[in-house]
Protein backbone atom coordinates (compact mmCIF):
# COMPACT_ATOMS: atom_id res chain seq x y z
CA UNK A 1 0.00 0.00 0.00
CA UNK A 2 1.41 3.41 -0.87
CA UNK A 3 2.12 5.97 1.83
CA UNK A 4 0.01 9.02 2.52
CA UNK A 5 0.52 11.95 0.14
CA UNK A 6 2.85 14.59 1.58
CA UNK A 7 2.20 18.25 0.80
CA UNK A 8 5.21 20.56 0.81
CA UNK A 9 5.99 24.14 -0.16
CA UNK A 10 9.30 23.66 -1.89
CA UNK A 11 10.82 20.46 -3.24
CA UNK A 12 14.42 20.50 -4.40
CA UNK A 13 15.55 17.63 -6.58
CA UNK A 14 19.28 17.00 -6.58
CA UNK A 15 22.19 17.56 -4.23
CA UNK A 16 24.96 19.30 -6.15
CA UNK A 17 25.94 22.96 -5.62
CA UNK A 18 22.73 24.09 -7.39
CA UNK A 19 20.41 22.06 -5.16
CA UNK A 20 22.12 22.92 -1.88
CA UNK A 21 22.33 26.61 -2.73
CA UNK A 22 18.61 26.62 -3.60
CA UNK A 23 18.00 24.88 -0.26
CA UNK A 24 19.97 27.48 1.72
CA UNK A 25 18.00 30.33 0.16
CA UNK A 26 14.63 28.57 0.38
CA UNK A 27 15.19 27.56 4.00
CA UNK A 28 16.20 31.05 5.04
CA UNK A 29 13.01 32.33 3.37
CA UNK A 30 10.90 30.01 5.56
CA UNK A 31 9.88 27.74 2.70
CA UNK A 32 10.71 24.57 4.66
CA UNK A 33 12.45 22.95 1.69
CA UNK A 34 12.72 19.21 1.31
CA UNK A 35 15.73 18.11 -0.73
CA UNK A 36 16.06 14.67 -2.27
CA UNK A 37 19.68 13.77 -2.86
CA UNK A 38 19.24 11.50 -5.87
CA UNK A 39 21.43 8.71 -7.15
CA UNK A 40 24.76 10.45 -6.59
CA UNK A 41 24.56 12.46 -3.36
CA UNK A 42 26.78 15.51 -3.78
CA UNK A 43 26.64 15.31 -7.57
CA UNK A 44 29.52 15.56 -10.02
CA UNK A 45 31.82 17.31 -7.56
CA UNK A 46 32.16 14.11 -5.59
CA UNK A 47 34.23 12.77 -8.52
CA UNK A 48 36.59 15.76 -8.45
CA UNK A 49 39.66 16.04 -6.28
CA UNK A 50 40.71 19.55 -5.46
CA UNK A 51 38.40 22.49 -6.20
CA UNK A 52 40.52 25.62 -6.47
CA UNK A 53 38.21 27.91 -8.41
CA UNK A 54 35.22 28.25 -6.07
CA UNK A 55 35.45 31.74 -4.59
CA UNK A 56 35.92 31.80 -0.83
CA UNK A 57 38.18 28.78 -0.50
CA UNK A 58 41.56 30.51 -0.62
CA UNK A 59 43.43 27.25 -0.04
CA UNK A 60 41.16 25.10 -2.19
CA UNK A 61 38.88 22.33 -0.97
CA UNK A 62 38.22 18.79 -2.13
CA UNK A 63 34.97 18.23 -4.05
CA UNK A 64 33.55 15.79 -1.46
CA UNK A 65 34.48 18.12 1.44
CA UNK A 66 32.80 21.05 -0.28
CA UNK A 67 29.63 19.02 -0.68
CA UNK A 68 29.70 18.02 3.02
CA UNK A 69 29.98 21.71 3.90
CA UNK A 70 27.13 22.67 1.57
CA UNK A 71 24.91 19.95 3.01
CA UNK A 72 25.72 21.09 6.56
CA UNK A 73 24.95 24.69 5.63
CA UNK A 74 21.59 23.70 4.14
CA UNK A 75 20.75 21.63 7.25
CA UNK A 76 21.76 24.48 9.55
CA UNK A 77 18.64 26.29 8.33
CA UNK A 78 16.53 23.14 8.70
CA UNK A 79 16.45 21.91 5.14
CA UNK A 80 14.99 18.41 5.26
CA UNK A 81 17.67 16.46 3.35
CA UNK A 82 16.49 12.99 2.39
CA UNK A 83 17.81 9.89 0.65
CA UNK A 84 15.88 8.81 -2.39
CA UNK A 85 15.33 9.77 -5.97
CA UNK A 86 12.46 11.00 -8.03
CA UNK A 87 11.16 8.29 -10.33
CA UNK A 88 8.10 9.99 -11.84
CA UNK A 89 6.51 13.41 -12.08
CA UNK A 90 3.16 14.77 -13.21
CA UNK A 91 3.14 18.49 -13.92
CA UNK A 92 -0.10 18.40 -15.94
CA UNK A 93 -2.35 20.01 -13.33
CA UNK A 94 -2.16 22.90 -10.91
CA UNK A 95 -0.49 20.66 -8.32
CA UNK A 96 3.04 19.46 -9.02
CA UNK A 97 3.06 15.73 -8.31
CA UNK A 98 6.28 13.83 -7.72
CA UNK A 99 6.90 10.20 -6.79
CA UNK A 100 9.94 9.16 -4.76
CA UNK A 101 11.38 5.68 -5.25
CA UNK A 102 8.21 4.80 -7.18
CA UNK A 103 6.08 4.76 -4.04
CA UNK A 104 5.95 7.92 -1.97
CA UNK A 105 3.83 10.70 -3.52
CA UNK A 106 4.55 14.34 -2.86
CA UNK A 107 2.51 17.37 -3.90
CA UNK A 108 4.75 20.42 -4.04
CA UNK A 109 3.76 24.06 -4.47
CA UNK A 110 7.15 24.79 -6.02
CA UNK A 111 9.89 22.60 -7.40
CA UNK A 112 13.55 23.39 -8.05
CA UNK A 113 15.12 20.91 -10.44
CA UNK A 114 18.87 20.55 -9.84
CA UNK A 115 19.41 17.08 -11.23
CA UNK A 116 22.61 18.04 -13.05
CA UNK A 117 24.29 16.23 -15.88
CA UNK A 118 26.58 13.26 -16.06
CA UNK A 119 29.78 13.37 -18.06
CA UNK A 120 30.11 10.61 -20.62
CA UNK A 121 33.16 8.41 -20.36
CA UNK A 122 34.67 5.94 -22.80
CA UNK A 123 33.89 3.07 -20.44
CA UNK A 124 37.37 1.51 -20.41
CA UNK A 125 38.23 -0.29 -17.19
CA UNK A 126 41.57 1.52 -16.96
CA UNK A 127 39.88 4.90 -17.48
CA UNK A 128 37.45 4.23 -14.62
CA UNK A 129 40.25 2.93 -12.41
CA UNK A 130 42.34 6.12 -12.63
CA UNK A 131 39.21 8.27 -12.45
CA UNK A 132 38.31 6.67 -9.12
CA UNK A 133 41.88 6.92 -7.87
CA UNK A 134 41.99 10.61 -8.80
CA UNK A 135 45.24 9.86 -10.55
CA UNK A 136 44.97 11.62 -13.88
CA UNK A 137 41.59 11.04 -15.57
CA UNK A 138 39.14 13.93 -15.68
CA UNK A 139 36.05 15.06 -17.58
CA UNK A 140 36.57 18.74 -16.77
CA UNK A 141 39.60 20.64 -18.04
CA UNK A 142 38.55 23.88 -16.36
CA UNK A 143 38.34 22.05 -13.02
CA UNK A 144 41.49 19.96 -13.22
CA UNK A 145 43.73 21.38 -15.98
CA UNK A 146 45.78 23.42 -13.57
CA UNK A 147 47.10 20.26 -11.89
CA UNK A 148 48.91 19.46 -15.16
CA UNK A 149 50.67 22.77 -15.52
CA UNK A 150 53.72 22.41 -17.77
CA UNK A 151 52.93 18.72 -18.36
CA UNK A 152 51.73 16.70 -21.36
CA UNK A 153 48.06 15.82 -21.58
CA UNK A 154 45.75 13.94 -23.93
CA UNK A 155 42.13 14.85 -24.61
CA UNK A 156 39.56 12.74 -26.42
CA UNK A 157 36.59 14.22 -28.29
CA UNK A 158 35.86 16.33 -31.34
CA UNK A 159 32.90 18.52 -30.40
CA UNK A 160 32.81 22.11 -29.21
CA UNK A 161 33.51 21.03 -25.62
CA UNK A 162 36.61 19.09 -26.61
CA UNK A 163 37.89 22.02 -28.69
CA UNK A 164 37.22 24.52 -25.93
CA UNK A 165 38.85 22.30 -23.32
CA UNK A 166 41.84 21.46 -25.55
CA UNK A 167 42.41 25.16 -26.07
CA UNK A 168 42.06 25.82 -22.34
CA UNK A 169 44.63 23.10 -21.61
CA UNK A 170 47.01 24.44 -24.27
CA UNK A 171 47.42 27.61 -22.20
CA UNK A 172 48.49 25.58 -19.17
CA UNK A 173 50.15 22.40 -20.43
CA UNK A 174 53.36 21.92 -22.36
CA UNK A 175 51.58 19.86 -24.98
CA UNK A 176 48.04 18.64 -25.66
CA UNK A 177 47.32 15.68 -27.92
CA UNK A 178 43.76 15.54 -29.17
CA UNK A 179 42.27 12.21 -30.19
CA UNK A 180 39.53 12.43 -32.83
CA UNK A 181 37.90 9.14 -33.81
CA UNK A 182 36.71 10.27 -37.25
CA UNK A 183 38.63 12.15 -39.93
CA UNK A 184 36.84 15.37 -39.07
CA UNK A 185 35.68 17.46 -36.14
CA UNK A 186 32.09 17.66 -35.06
CA UNK A 187 32.78 21.08 -33.55
CA UNK A 188 31.83 24.34 -35.23
CA UNK A 189 34.35 25.48 -37.82
CA UNK A 190 35.61 28.39 -35.78
CA UNK A 191 36.32 26.22 -32.71
CA UNK A 192 38.04 23.55 -34.79
CA UNK A 193 40.16 26.16 -36.58
CA UNK A 194 41.28 27.63 -33.29
CA UNK A 195 42.50 24.22 -32.14
CA UNK A 196 44.21 23.54 -35.47
CA UNK A 197 46.01 26.87 -35.25
CA UNK A 198 47.35 26.32 -31.73
CA UNK A 199 51.01 25.36 -31.86
CA UNK A 200 51.11 23.02 -28.86
CA UNK A 201 47.98 21.04 -29.77
CA UNK A 202 48.61 17.97 -31.90
CA UNK A 203 45.48 16.46 -33.47
CA UNK A 204 45.40 12.75 -34.28
CA UNK A 205 42.45 11.92 -36.54
CA UNK A 206 40.98 8.41 -36.94
CA UNK A 207 42.42 7.62 -33.55
CA UNK A 208 40.76 5.72 -30.71
CA UNK A 209 41.84 5.09 -27.15
CA UNK A 210 42.62 1.44 -26.39
CA UNK A 211 43.86 1.80 -22.84
CA UNK A 212 44.83 4.36 -20.23
CA UNK A 213 48.28 3.39 -18.94
CA UNK A 214 49.65 4.06 -15.49
CA UNK A 215 51.95 3.16 -12.68
CA UNK A 216 50.62 2.70 -9.18
CA UNK A 217 47.93 5.38 -8.81
CA UNK A 218 49.06 7.70 -11.59
CA UNK A 219 48.45 7.95 -15.32
CA UNK A 220 51.62 7.73 -17.42
CA UNK A 221 50.16 7.56 -20.92
CA UNK A 222 47.56 6.16 -23.29
CA UNK A 223 47.68 3.44 -25.90
CA UNK A 224 45.90 4.49 -29.07
CA UNK A 225 44.98 2.81 -32.34
CA UNK A 226 44.55 4.33 -35.77
CA UNK A 227 41.26 2.86 -37.00
CA UNK A 228 42.32 3.22 -40.68
CA UNK A 229 45.82 1.77 -40.61
CA UNK A 230 45.56 -0.40 -37.48
CA UNK A 231 48.77 1.17 -36.13
CA UNK A 232 49.04 1.11 -32.35
CA UNK A 233 51.04 3.75 -30.45
CA UNK A 234 51.68 4.88 -26.93
CA UNK A 235 51.52 8.56 -26.01
CA UNK A 236 53.14 9.68 -22.78
CA UNK A 237 50.96 11.96 -20.63
CA UNK A 238 50.12 12.61 -17.00
CA UNK A 239 46.55 13.77 -17.59
CA UNK A 240 43.84 12.13 -19.69
CA UNK A 241 40.79 14.31 -20.36
CA UNK A 242 37.51 12.96 -21.67
CA UNK A 243 35.33 15.52 -23.48
CA UNK A 244 32.82 13.42 -25.38
CA UNK A 245 29.67 15.09 -24.09
CA UNK A 246 27.32 15.07 -21.13
CA UNK A 247 23.90 13.58 -20.49
CA UNK A 248 21.61 15.97 -18.64
CA UNK A 249 19.58 14.09 -16.04
CA UNK A 250 16.23 15.25 -17.32
CA UNK A 251 14.60 12.13 -18.77
CA UNK A 252 11.78 12.02 -16.18
CA UNK A 253 10.70 15.58 -17.02
CA UNK A 254 10.51 15.19 -20.79
CA UNK A 255 6.71 14.82 -20.99
CA UNK A 256 6.13 18.13 -19.22
CA UNK A 257 9.10 20.45 -19.66
CA UNK A 258 10.55 21.91 -22.84
CA UNK A 259 13.93 20.30 -23.50
CA UNK A 260 16.39 21.12 -26.26
CA UNK A 261 17.61 18.52 -28.74
CA UNK A 262 20.34 17.37 -26.35
CA UNK A 263 17.91 17.01 -23.43
CA UNK A 264 18.77 20.18 -21.49
CA UNK A 265 15.80 21.92 -19.87
CA UNK A 266 14.98 25.16 -21.65
CA UNK A 267 14.42 28.35 -19.71
CA UNK A 268 11.03 29.86 -20.42
CA UNK A 269 12.50 33.34 -20.05
CA UNK A 270 16.23 33.80 -20.57
CA UNK A 271 17.89 35.32 -17.51
CA UNK A 272 15.43 33.63 -15.11
CA UNK A 273 15.14 30.13 -13.63
CA UNK A 274 11.61 29.60 -14.98
CA UNK A 275 10.61 26.54 -16.98
CA UNK A 276 7.47 26.36 -19.12
CA UNK A 277 5.53 25.04 -16.10
CA UNK A 278 4.67 27.78 -13.57
CA UNK A 279 6.11 26.95 -10.16
CA UNK A 280 8.76 24.61 -11.57
CA UNK A 281 12.24 26.11 -11.74
CA UNK A 282 15.56 24.78 -12.95
CA UNK A 283 19.13 25.41 -11.88
CA UNK A 284 22.59 24.04 -12.56
CA UNK A 285 23.78 21.70 -15.28
CA UNK A 286 20.32 20.28 -16.07
CA UNK A 287 19.87 23.50 -18.07
CA UNK A 288 23.49 24.48 -18.72
CA UNK A 289 25.59 22.98 -21.47
CA UNK A 290 27.94 25.93 -21.69
CA UNK A 291 29.47 26.78 -18.32
CA UNK A 292 28.98 23.69 -16.12
CA UNK A 293 30.83 25.14 -13.16
CA UNK A 294 30.05 24.73 -9.46
CA UNK A 295 29.85 28.49 -9.08
CA UNK A 296 27.41 28.95 -11.97
CA UNK A 297 25.30 26.06 -10.65
CA UNK A 298 25.24 27.68 -7.22
CA UNK A 299 24.29 31.03 -8.78
CA UNK A 300 21.34 29.57 -10.67
CA UNK A 301 20.31 27.61 -7.54
CA UNK A 302 20.00 30.93 -5.74
CA UNK A 303 17.96 32.37 -8.63
CA UNK A 304 15.60 29.39 -8.63
CA UNK A 305 14.92 29.64 -4.88
CA UNK A 306 14.30 33.40 -5.07
CA UNK A 307 11.88 32.88 -7.93
CA UNK A 308 10.10 30.08 -6.09
CA UNK A 309 9.67 32.44 -3.15
CA UNK A 310 8.24 35.16 -5.40
CA UNK A 311 5.91 32.66 -7.05
CA UNK A 312 4.54 31.61 -3.66
CA UNK A 313 4.22 35.22 -2.52
CA UNK A 314 2.24 36.09 -5.64
CA UNK A 315 -0.12 33.19 -4.86
CA UNK A 316 -0.61 34.53 -1.35
CA UNK A 317 1.29 31.73 0.45
Catalytic residue annotation: 140, 143-144
Question: Where does this chain touch ligand NDP (CB under 6 A) — which range of 7-15, 68-76, 134-142, 151-159?
Answer: 151-159
CB of 226 to ligand NDP, least distance (A): 13
What is the x/- site pattern for ligand NDP, positions 258-277, by CB under 6 A? ----x---------------
Contact 82, 70 (CB under 8 A): no
Note whether 51 and 66 are within 8 A (CB). yes
289 near ligand NDP (CB under 6 A): yes
Q: Looking at 9, 96, 175, 186, which residue binds ligand NDP (CB under 6 A)?
A: 186
Instruction: Measure Cα distances from 15 to 7, 34, 52 in Å.
Output: 21, 11, 20
Instruction: Give me the residues paired with residue 96 across strands.
Output: 108
β-bridge partners, 47: none
Residues 73, 301 contacting (CB under 8 angstroms)? no
Tell me whether residue 41 or residue 263 sits nearer to ligand NDP (CB atom): 263
Least Å distance, CB 159 to ligand NDP, is: 2
Indicate the residue among 106 and 166 with the shorter CB distance to ligand NDP.
166
Helix (H, G, I), strand (E, B) or coil at 100: strand
Q: Is 264 helix (H, G, I), strand (E, B) or coil?
A: coil
Residue 244: CB minimum distance to ligand NDP, A: 4
Q: Is 173 in the site for ligand NDP (CB under 6 A)?
A: no
Q: How far apart are CA 193 and CA 39, in angstroms?
A: 39
Task: Pick out residues in 106-135 that bind ligand NDP (CB under 6 A).
Answer: 122
Query: What is the distance between the alpha carbons of residues 307 and 314, in angstroms, rounded to a whole number?
Result: 10
Binding of ligand NDP by 159 (CB under 6 A): yes
- Give the number of other CB atoms < 10 A from CB of residue 104: 18
Given a contact cutoff of 8 angstroms between Cβ atoms, the answer to whether 114 and 14 are in contact is: yes
Binding mask 219-258 for ligand NDP (x = CB under 6 A): -------------------------xxx------------
Instruction: Determine the Cα–Cα distance for residues 239 and 223; give it in Å rounded to an integer.
Output: 13
Indicate whether 196 belongs to the interface with ligand NDP (CB under 6 A): no
Is residue 193 within the footprint of ligand NDP (CB under 6 A)?
A: no
The distance of closest approach from Cβ of residue 199 to ligand NDP in the complex, given in angstroms and rounded to an integer, is 22
Asked if 166 touches ligand NDP (CB under 6 A), the answer is no
Taking the CA of residue 104 as centre, how many other CA atoms within 13 Å lie in the half-sphere pointing to its CB? 13
Q: How far is the CB of 80 from ligand NDP (least distance, A)?
A: 35
Name the minimum Å distance from CB 235 to ligand NDP: 15
Q: Is 182 in the site for ligand NDP (CB under 6 A)?
A: yes
Of the candidates 209, 237, 224, 222, the residue with the CA atom closest to the CA atom of residue 152: 237
Non-local (6+) Cβ contacts of 223 within 8 A are 209, 210, 211, 213, 232, 233, 234
According to CB under 6 A, which residues from 22 to 61 bind ligand NDP?
A: none
Q: Which residues bind ligand NDP (CB under 6 A)?
A: 122, 156-162, 164, 181-182, 186, 244-246, 262, 289-290
Amino acid sequence: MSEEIERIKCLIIGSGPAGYTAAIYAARANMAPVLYQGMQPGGQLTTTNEVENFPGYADGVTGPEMMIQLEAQAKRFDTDVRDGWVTKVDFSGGVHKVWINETKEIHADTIVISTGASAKYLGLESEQKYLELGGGVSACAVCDGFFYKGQETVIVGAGDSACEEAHYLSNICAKVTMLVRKDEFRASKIMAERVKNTANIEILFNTETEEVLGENDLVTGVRVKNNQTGDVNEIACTGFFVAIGHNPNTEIFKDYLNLDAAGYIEYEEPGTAKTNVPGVFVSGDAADKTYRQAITAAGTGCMAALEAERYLAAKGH
